[in-house]
Structure 1
Amino acid sequence: MEISSSSSKKHFILVHGLCHGAWCWYRVVAALRAAGHRTTALDMAASGAHPARVDEVGTFEEYSRPLLDAVAAAAPGERLVLVGHSHGGLSVALTMERFPDKVAAAVFVAAAMPCVGKHMGVPTEEFMRRTAPEGLLMDCEMVAINNSQGSGVAINLGPTFLAQKYYQQSPAEDLALAKMLVRPGNQFMDDPVMKDESLLTNDNYGSVKKVYVIAKADSSSPEEMQRWMVAMSPGTDVEEIAGADHAVMNSKPRELCDILIKIANKYE
């Protein structure tokens, strides 16, 4: 889903979280467009309306390919604002490492934000370490898959989990939409890209300005977990949204848009 304005100087690229798709950004896309900004919401591979099945995407790089290709295709001199939500923060991080000169700023919205010197799977591992004993995943289902890298596991987000841990502050219509449109998602925790401690470098990933948007009412990734990631990457700016659940783009779309526009105006 791409909505553009030829007169706009800003180009936001929005990346969804696990099991979601470009559709989840519809409120933010409309608001940014109304403010005159070019906005592209992408489906990662096997997500949203992307035609691939989850077991046809063998690697995290293949999963992130729609974002990598979109940034690679940006016009010379065009500086982008990448916005990653939840698991989408890892695709944004990979893209920052590959194309640091094309990214004016990266915004992590209640997102997995890795740090230089540690592998990209660390935020997900820490999340699972902190929350697994509490039964956070509730009625989510683990689904065995086989792809070009061998056997693996995908996750289906359950309706109770979506209602109580993800969308609990969002409009009922957005929860209903999510229940109809979420697809199985692969976290790629065994992917070599996720395990490479030398992947993210100071010269590339570390050179791009990072802003973390804390969702203060997030029941999926609590504020303490979000601040832990910020502390791991000194120099990261922080914005906070009170009353935002994990689906920040649905529970607090206006507040999120205001922050995104402020960031775009600050980092030319």
Structure 2
Amino acid sequence: MGNKFFRLKKDGKDVGSKSKRHGRSQRKMAVEEELLHRQALSMALHQHQLSQRFDGSMSRRIGSTSARFGSTSSRRTILSDPFSNGKQVPEFVEHLKTKKVVLVHGAGFGAWCWYKTIALLEEVGLLPIALDLLGSGIDQTDPNSITTPADYAKPLIDYLHNLPEEEQVILVGHSCGGASISYALECYPKKISKAIFLCGTMVADGQRPFDVFAEKLGSVESFMEESQLLTYGNGKDKPPTSLMLEKQQTKGFYFNQCPDKDIALATVSMRPIPLGPIMEKLSLSPENYGSSRRFYIQTLDDHALSPDVQEKLVRENPPEGVFKIKGSDHCPFFSKPQSLHKIFLEIIQFP
């Protein structure tokens, strides 16, 4: 009695209608996950660069959200990962001035990690563009040769530089990609309409991206002493140049809520992390970075960047709006793609 999945008819027969609907929903989820994974496999095999167009159409579309908050508020929204039964493309997309969404991966990842997000954004008529930062994804640059945030973010900066003067994009940065989009905001603030930090290193002026992870990793000195996975590209007598986490470490660190297929994809696709860019302090001015519209998405089951650390980031460097995803690890584009997509749509439609 009281079981939310079952309902009894008056004649005493246990119909289980809610259970059946739940079962159909679960099968639908499995079908869509399989389709997304096939798209990822196609993406990896063909090694497409930048904006990846997926063939076929998704069976589900997410409608526009009705929630709003004022441009200067910092209201928080918490989402789980429900499926929408709506089939209608959001009407607001047709009237958007900015439809390009530039997706910037975190350290060790590449453009490949956004495959679910790309498919979902394209499905509603937006134009996602996933970039490989230097030494990441299929970019062949030696990670040990990348020493500064400017080096690392060069593909992103080049892309923004080549945009027509009047054109703007929405910028998304995951994890350490938050530092890369912060650097981009400093360089080209007028070409970025909104910046979304996805459990990202939203550093303040004079702060290093590494400092955000210091609570988890310890001081720079202890981290360097204890790590067995460092590469010394300039010789043992010089500072280490890159880091590669072991597969078991990445699984517990990044993927504690991710599907096994996504973990498998990640473990064969991740690259060494260049250390120079995360060890250098960023210089961010009130005139450029400070004038930008920033939003933050928190992940509440994150083992890499804890919810407490994320809360500290938004408290010390307040964005315009804050969102939270329940049950998400450090990679919501794998573990909670639909909830992430709904938040993207809500932020994108803010005037």
TM-score, with structure 2 as normaliser: 0.68
The partner residue of 1:14 within 92, 99, 103 is 103
User: For 1:213, what is the secondary structure of its paired residue?
Assistant: strand
Where do 1:1-268 residues align within 5 Å? 1-3=50-52, 9-115=98-204, 118-121=205-208, 123-132=209-218, 141-146=229-234, 151-188=239-276, 194-195=280-281, 199-267=283-351
Report the CA distance shift for 1:56/1:126 in structure 2 as closer, same or farther (over 3 A).
Answer: closer
Report the CA distance shift for 1:105/1:167 in structure 2 as closer, same or farther (over 3 A).
Answer: same
> Is the 8 Å Cα contact of residues 3 and 38 (structure 1) preserved in structure 2?
no
Report the CA distance shift for 1:35/1:102 in structure 2 as closer, same or farther (over 3 A).
Answer: same
Percent identical: 29
| Deviation, structure 1 residue 74 | 1.6
Report the CA distance shift for 1:102/1:86 in structure 2 as closer, same or farther (over 3 A).
Answer: same
Report the CA distance shift for 1:18/1:239 in structure 2 as closer, same or farther (over 3 A).
Answer: same
Consecutive unaligned residues of structure 1, counting only runs of 5 or more, are: none
What RMSD over aligned residues (CA atoms) do the two structures have, in Å? 2.6
User: For 1:69, what is the secondary structure of its paired residue?
Assistant: helix
User: For 2:140, what is the secondary structure of its paired residue?
Assistant: coil
Report the CA distance shift for 1:209/1:140 in structure 2 as closer, same or farther (over 3 A).
Answer: farther
In 1, the alpha carbon distance for the partners of 2:242 and 2:251 equals 20
> Is the 8 Å Cα contact of residues 19 and 185 (structure 1) preserved in structure 2?
yes
> Is the 8 Å Cα contact of residues 54 and 186 (structure 1) preserved in structure 2?
yes
User: For 2:295, what is the secondary structure of its paired residue?
Assistant: strand
Report the CA distance shift for 1:232/1:140 in structure 2 as closer, same or farther (over 3 A).
Answer: farther
| Deviation, structure 1 residue 103 | 0.7
Consecutive unaligned residues of structure 2, counting only runs of 5 or more, are: 1-49, 54-93
In 2, the alpha carbon distance for the partners of 1:28 and 1:184 equals 23
Structure 1 or 2: larger strand share?
Answer: 1
Tell me how many residue pairs correspond in the alignment: 256
| Deviation, structure 1 residue 139 | 8.3
TM-score, with structure 1 as normaliser: 0.87
